[in-house]
Amino acid sequence: MDWAAAEISALPGPVLEFGLGNGRTYDHLRSCMPGREIFVFDCQIAAHPDCVPDRRHLLLGDVRKTLFGALSRIGAQAALAHYDIGTGDKSYTAEVAAAVGSALAPLLACGALVVSSQMLVIPGSLEVPLPKGVAPSRYYIYRMGSPLL
């Protein structure tokens, strides 16, 4: 995430966190990008109270529903999205990833990065080579718009 934060440092816009989980990544994003708003999508809260965003920045419910109309709530296209929604049910995980991937593009600025634990198909994005030291298939990284950014 530090690599991604550095890559988008000159790009304005909020950060989207898909899957709060226990809140560790959210907490890390707050510390490495203190000037950015972070909007979190999750179906339920299971994180430590110190790692839960305020109500304005929390979109609670099935992400396949909360994603639609989210741009008006967020107010600007995002510079970075971190996608880490998964369960032990591979079929369900793939279904949610397909739905989110196909609907994510309008929420992302040109040049935005998506760092994902799942392979996504995001219209208008290109897959980016993983940073050195990241194992293949551990993460997937996509950039919106021009690959030259």
DSSP string, 60-73: ES-HHHHTTTHHHH
Q: Tell me the pairing of strands 58-60 and 38-42.
A: parallel
Per-residue pLDDT tens digits of the chain, which is 149 residues long = 999 999 999 999 999 999 998 899 999 999 999 999 999 999 989 898 999 999 999 999 999 999 999 999 999 999 999 999 887 888 989 999 999 999 999 999 999 999 999 999 999 999 999 999 898 888 999 999 854 44
From residue 114, how far is each of 49, 70, 98 by CA, in Å? 26, 17, 14
Tokens for 123, please give them: 């219209």
Mean pLDDT over the full length of the chain: 92
What is the pLDDT at residue 149? 41
Question: What domains does the chain contain, in order, with CATH numbers?
Answer: 2-144 (3.40.50.150)
pTM of structure: 0.93
Give 3: exposed, middle or buried? Use CB within 10 Å, 0-12, 13-18, 19+. middle
Distance CA 117, CA 149 (A): 22
Looking at this protein, which amino acid is placed at residue 32? C
What digits encode the pLDDT tens for the residues 85-106? 887 888 989 999 999 999 999 9
Predicted pLDDT of residue 145: 87
Rounded Cα–Cα distance for residues 74 and 94 (Å)? 26
